[in-house]
Each structure stands twice: as structure tokens, then as C-alpha cells.
Amino acid sequence: MNTLDYIIKLTNTPSPTGFTREIMDYVQQEVQSFGYQTTMTPKGGVMVSVSGANNSKHRMVTAHLDTLGAMVRAIKADGRIKMDLVGGFGYPSIEGENCQVHVAKNGKTYTGTILMHQTSVHVYKDASTAERNQTNMEIRLDEKVKSAEETKALGIQVGDFISFEPRTTVTESGFIKSRHLDDKVSAAILIKLLKSYKEENIDLPYTTHFYFSNNEEIGYGANSSIPSQVVEYLAVDMGAMGDDQETDEYTVSICVKDASGPYHYQLRQHMVDLAEKHAIPYKLDIYPYYGSDASAAMHAGADVRHALLGAGIESSHSYERTHMDSVVATEKMVDTYLKSEMLE
């Protein structure tokens, strides 16, 4: 499989934060099939440690596989479902989206659609103006249910996870449109690099820990699994696009600052130097309302140099889009960094 194949596979595997075992099992088994040993941490992340020529100083590189999602908040009298959001996004970004309800009690999955209660303009005067919030948004199940009792009879209960249909599409012009490109593009890149290193018998200059985290969207993905020898920590996530942003869909975005503060100056300049030396198209940017696994590690007290980069993602935390040019640039950037000499 190539990187695009992995992106399609990962985006089509439901994994809202807290409901990630299926995708973590898949990644662990896939990486093991390349010939690596892996470890699943107690909180469900997957660590792949690759021995390098220098074993006294280590690197760590992360991508996260958990996504935005929701949970059943309540079952309404008419059988429809109220939600509680998982991750940082707004109700308007999921209005009209198809979804799945994953039933803990019996393992079944039911489909539905996320809608405003006041959807029909032929019935509700405020259909266009009512606030999109937990009170007004609901899930219309694709089952013959008209009461709370009938919905509960399906096994559905408070706390069941809800995932959103990704609608992954690849255009002839090279665009990838899907939910959850944040951060499954990066995870696909790391899987592909691990595969290439085995197939091509590439030895990295430093022992490197590839960590696939499963709690990033709620703020603590990989901050408790950092080996003591790690001195450089790279989070491969997404580049945020919008007003006043330099990031685009065709380059790798190197973050200089997010909501947690500036990233390590010398390490991000090392990334810039590598990009310029190897003709990798890049943008420098600030993500004002953003946090990463690397910033979570810093908050947890990790004594490491930290950096953040990723593909440029349009409409983040909604129906997202990027271009293969950005994916290629990001993969080349991560590969080039992992093969480079460490800062002194």
C-alpha cells in the first residue's frame, strides 16, 4: 500500500477519541507485518521503537489516530438521540452529516443523520435561524423508532460512541476530501515511512520512537510515553488554513507558534534549513487556536526540543481537504529530518 491507500483506509475506520481500539489494532498489526516489534501502551497508543546508529540520544515522532466524534447524551421521547461532542468543534460543522452509533451493549452499529430538530422549513419558522447547539441538534436513526423505549430496545444507551461518515474522495486533480484528515494523513505518512525503511534496509542515525497516539483531540495523546533518552520530539499533525495564515494545500506547514506558545526555535530552524537544502516546499505559520501532542508533552514537563509540522488542511475540524502535493512534501520533510544529524 502507498500513502494514499493508507489515508483512505484510516479515514474509513471509525475512531472518535475514546473509541480507538479497532484502528490501533489495525496499525499495530500492519506495522508488525513489516517486521517491527510494537508496544500498546496502557492508554491504548502504539509505540514502534526503531534502533539507530546512535542509541544514547533518541528522537520521537508522533501522529494521532483519534478523531472528532460524539457520544449519546440522551434519548428523546420521540426516539431521536441528543449528542455530547468529543473534541473541539461546533455543531454547525456536522449538520446534515451521516453518522454511526456504536452500541456498547451488543456490539451493533446503527446509521443515522445529524440534523436540527427544526429542520423542515415547511413546519418551523426558525429553521434557518435557530441556534445549532446541543438542545436543537439530534440524530435521526435509520430505524423504525418513534419512542425512547423503542430506541433503547436496540441496545442504545447513554455513553455509546458516535462517529461521522468521512466521505473520503480523491479527485483527478489530486485533492483529497474527507473528514478526519486531521490527523490520519500524518499517521499514513508514518506508516509508509516505516514500511519503506524496512523494505529498503535503511538505518536511521538515531534510535527513533514512532508513536501513534489516541487521545490528542482531548489534549493528552503522547505526553506520558516518552522514553527518557528522547531529546527531540516532532509532532506530525496538520497545518491550519484561513485568514492571516500562510499555510496552503500544496506545501508542508512548519508551525512556529500555537496556543501553547512558540515551538523550539533552533529545531524549527533546523527544519527550515533541511527544507531549503532539499528543495521541499514549505510555509511557516502560527496556529492561534491549536495544540498538539508536542505541546501536551511540554505541559507535562518533558525536557525535550519540540517541533510541529504537517500537511496543509483546508476547513479543519469540518469536511476537510488537502492536496497530494502537500502530502508528498510533508512525507519528504519527515523523512529528511529523521535521516539528518541531530542538533548539538
Give the closest residue to 153 by CA, choosing from 101, 105, 193, 96: 105
Torsion of CA 232, 234, 240, 241, to 10 degrees: 90
Q: CB of 339 within 8 A of CB of 260?
A: no
Phi-psi sector, 96: left (phi>0), alpha (psi -120 to 50), beta? left
- Rounded distance, CA 321 to CA 316, Å? 8
317 a known binding residue?
yes
Distance from chain centroid for Cα 322: 14
Establish whether 237 is an annotated binding residue. Answer: yes
Q: Catalytic residues, which ones?
A: 216
Q: In 3D, which of 284, 278, 281 has the Cα closest to residue 336?
A: 278
> Does 160 belong to an annotated binding site?
no
> Annotated binding residues, as ranges?
64, 182, 217, 237, 317
